[in-house]
Structures are given as structure tokens and as C-alpha cells.
């Protein structure tokens, strides 16, 4: 694919270059629609009601294994066919389940190992879940008026993590983790508009969960909520970012992996990953508990394909999503 040229004649950085995403060009060869084997609805690639691929695509799609369970709470007014949350359920069917609000589990029954990805006044970062010595830098309340907190729409991008010097041996946990001993067993995401998500968060069945905020990363989503900044991620981007952070905090980052170079993640993430980077790990090592080397990148399989399709027909600089203030 030829990628659009950015302002001043410079090639725009392709965000997914060097990521371990399977070749999705097969999607461009599929013509017409087929019936879902469960509900018989006509679908293109997958059924967004049954969360399964249609036709012969099931044997061609990559399969992603996750180290923990992912729950997605979808607002009933969200349009199923436009939600990126379905991508996770199709590509990682063994660890992802989707609930339509208000028909959701009562998470009060399993609070200890469950976190909610949501910015609240008491939110933790992923490194804090691993007992690493970091905290949010909120001295100026992110420029918000008195009485507001980070759970409201932030005016500017967060540069939030401060703590022990990255090269200090005390800045990382010496604990050896396995998938079974991670401090998180299940992560809950809300798939809705900002206003809808706040009403879901008020539900007593999720209200008591520990909330987690993610490191900054600029969204590559082409469809945006009015008034939202560029770092409000699409659901599938947020799931990928969360799993990336969990993996790096548990098992490190492969020094040979270059997939993060164009994702525009805040410097804080790279600083925290530095002491856990394992340059000695073989470049081809992608086992579940080896340093991060793209283990979850295929979650972006459909997302990257649609990104390519959108940018094939539209100039990057003309898309409203990419002209939001950062």
C-alpha cells in the first residue's frame, strides 16, 4: 500500500510498521457476504452478534492467546457493526467475552482479581498493580478547574508517571510471574461513548472495582467522539495497550522488537520499560511468558486492515479524527 504524504511533503509514519500483525491482505480479496452459521445473518468477515468469522475465513485468521480474561461491557445503544470490541472476541475467543449493559455480571463477587479500565479519581497505573514504585503526577490536576478530577474529560495529554529512576534496581519488582500468578485475573472495558461509560461506571456491580488508567498513546481510529482528544483510544486499541503494559511489567520488552516505534506512546512508558528490556532475548522468541515481542499485536488485525482501507481512499490530513488537538 502507498501511504498518504503528510504536511510539508514528508511521508507520514505508518503506525503498525514492524508490529507482528499477520498479513491481512486476504480480507481485501473477499467479495460479497456470507451467512453466519449460528444466526444466519449476512456478514462480510465475521458476525458481530455471534462473534465468529463467516465462511472460510475462520481457518485463515490468526488466533491470539491472552494471559488473562477480558470482559467488555457494551452499551445497548452502541452500533454492533461499528464496534472494534468485537475484533477481540473474534481473534481471542477463549479469553474475551462481551456483555450488553445492563445484562452484566456482578463483579462484586470477584473483586480481588478484577480491574476496570476507566479514569477515576483513584485510578492506578498498571505498574502500580505490580507494586512498582511509580505514581501519577497530579500536582497541577492536569490543568483542570478546582473540583474536577481526572475522571472528567481531560484538557490535555497526560504525562503522568513519576517515581524511582528507571535504571535503579529498586524500580522493578524481582518477583517471577507466570500467567497464573499475575496480579490481575480479569480486566473489564466499557465500550460506549464517554457519557454512556460514566453511567455504566455508576452501576453498583462495577463501582467497587479498582480502576486503572493506561499510558498515553495516540489513537489511530478514524471515527471519533465529538470533543474527545487524540489519546482516547478505540476499544481494541485500549485492550492491546493494556495487555502490552501488563506483559512488559511482568516479563519485560524484547530489545529487538520495534513495533512500538510509531505508536506515539508517551515517554513514560518507554522509561518504565527500560529496566525490564531484555536485549539478550532472541529476536524470534514470542512465547507467552517471554519479553514482549508482539504476542498480542494480532488483536489489531482487523483494525489495521480498516486503517489501510480508509487511508487508501482518504487523505490522512483531511480526516477529522487526525486533526483533533493533542
Question: What is the rounded end-to-end Cα distance, in angstroms, of the chain?
Answer: 27
Average of pLDDT values for 109-136?
A: 83
Based on the fold, state whether residues 130 and 204 are members of the same structural domain.
Answer: yes
- Are 216 and 246 within one domain? yes
Asked if residues 116 and 211 have their Cβ atoms less than 8 Å apart, the reply is yes
Q: How many domains does one find in the chain? A: 2
Burial 100-121 (b: 16+ CB within 10 A, else e): ebeebbebeeeeeebbbbbbbe
Do 31 and 103 belong to one domain? no
- 188 and 44 co-located in one domain: no
Q: With respect to residue 169, please indicate whether it lies within any of the assigned structural domains.
A: no
Do residues 30 and 117 share a domain?
Answer: no
Residue 275, helix vs strand vs coil: helix
Q: Is residue 191 part of a domain?
A: yes
Name the residue range of residue 217's domain.
63-138+175-322
Q: Rounded distance, CA 292 to CA 275, Å?
A: 13
**CA–CA separation, 187 and 292 (whole Å):** 19
How does pLDDT run across 153-183, given as a tens digit for each residue?
Answer: 444 445 545 454 444 444 445 578 999 999 9
Q: Identify which has the larger pLDDT, 137 or 230.
A: 137
Per-residue pLDDT tens over the stretch 292-306: 999 999 999 999 999
* Residue 277, beta-bridge partner list: 253
Neighbours of 27 (CB within 10 A): 18
Distance CA 278, CA 287 (A): 14
Count the helix, strand and coil residues of the chain and give each as a percent rounded to the nearest 5. 35, 15, 50
Do residues 47 and 125 both lie within one domain? Answer: no
- 229 and 296 fall within a common domain: yes
The verdict on 251 and 121 lying in the same domain is yes
Asked whether residue 102 falls in the same domain as residue 240, the answer is: yes
Q: What's the pLDDT at 148?
A: 53
Q: Are residues 112 and 247 in the same domain?
A: yes
Which range has the top average pLDDT, 84-98, 113-127, 136-150?
84-98
Share the mean pLDDT of the chain.
81
* Rounded CA separation 24/303 (Å): 10
* Burial group, residue 48, by CB count within 10 angstroms (0-12, 13-18, 19+): buried
Same domain, yes or no, for 98 and 113? Answer: yes
Q: Beta-carbon neighbour count of residue 172 at 10 Å?
A: 19
Whether the per-residue pLDDT at 207 is higher than 50: the answer is yes
pTM of the shown model: 0.84
pLDDT digits 0-9 by tens, 12-68? 578 999 999 999 999 999 888 999 999 999 999 999 999 999 988 989 999 999 999
On whether residue 284 sits in a domain, the answer given is: yes
What pLDDT shows up at residue 208?
92
> Which stretches within the chain are classed as H helix?
85-91, 126-129, 194-201, 204-207, 235-251, 267-273, 301-313
Does 99 lie in the same domain as 239? yes
DSSP state of 265: B
- Mean pLDDT within 197-222: 88
Report the pLDDT value the prediction gives residue 150, as an integer from 0 to 100. 52
Indicate whether 146 belongs to any domain: no
Amino acid at each position: 500500500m502507498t501511504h498518504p504524504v503528510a504536511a510539508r511533503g514528508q511521508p507520514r509514519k505508518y503506525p503498525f510498521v514492524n508490529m507482528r500483525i499477520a498479513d491481512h491482505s486476504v480480507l481485501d480479496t473477499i467479495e460479497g457476504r456470507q451467512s453466519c452459521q449460528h444466526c444466519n445473518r449476512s456478514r462480510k468477515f465475521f458476525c458481530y452478534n455471534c462473534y465468529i468469522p463467516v465462511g472460510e475465513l475462520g481457518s485463515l485468521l490468526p488466533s491470539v492467546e491472552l494471559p488473562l480474561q477480558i470482559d467488555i461491557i457494551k452499551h445497548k445503544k452502541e452500533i454492533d457493526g461499528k464496534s472494534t470490541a468485537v475484533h477481540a472476541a473474534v481473534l481471542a475467543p477463549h479469553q474475551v467475552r462481551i456483555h450488553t449493559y445492563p445484562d452484566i455480571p456482578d463483579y462484586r463477587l470477584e473483586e480481588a482479581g478484577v480491574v476496570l479500565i476507566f479514569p477515576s479519581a483513584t485510578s492506578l497505573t498498571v505498574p502500580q498493580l505490580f507494586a512498582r514504585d511509580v505514581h501519577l503526577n497530579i500536582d497541577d490536576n492536569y490543568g483542570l478547574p478546582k473540583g474536577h478530577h481526572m475522571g472528567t474529560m481531560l484538557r490535555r495529554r497526560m504525562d503522568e508517571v513519576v517515581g524511582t529512576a528507571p535504571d535503579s534496581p529498586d524500580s522493578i519488582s524481582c518477583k517471577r510471574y507466570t500467567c497464573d500468578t499475575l496480579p490481575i485475573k480479569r480486566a473489564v472495558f466499557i465500550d460506549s461513548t464517554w457519557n454512556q461509560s460514566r453511567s455504566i461506571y455508576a452501576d453498583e456491580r462495577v463501582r467497587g472495582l479498582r480502576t486503572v488508567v493506561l499510558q498515553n498513546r495516540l489513537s489511530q481510529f478514524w471515527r471519533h467522539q465529538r470533543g474527545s482528544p487524540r489519546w482516547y483510544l478505540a476499544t481494541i486499541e485500549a485492550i492491546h495497550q493494556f495487555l502490552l503494559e501488563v506483559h512488559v511489567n511482568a516479563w519485560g520488552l524484547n530489545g529487538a522488537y520495534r513495533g512500538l516505534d510509531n505508536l506515539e506512546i508517551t515517554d513514560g512508558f518507554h522509561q518504565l520499560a527500560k529496566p525490564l528490556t531484555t536485549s539478550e532475548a532472541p529476536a524470534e522468541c514470542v512465547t507467552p511468558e517471554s519479553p514482549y515481542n508482539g504476542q498480542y499485536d494480532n488483536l489489531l488485525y482487523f483494525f489495521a486492515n480498516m486503517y489501510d482501507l480508509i487511508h487508501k481512499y482518504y487523505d490522512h490530513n483531511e480526516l477529522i479524527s487526525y486533526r483533533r488537538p493533542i
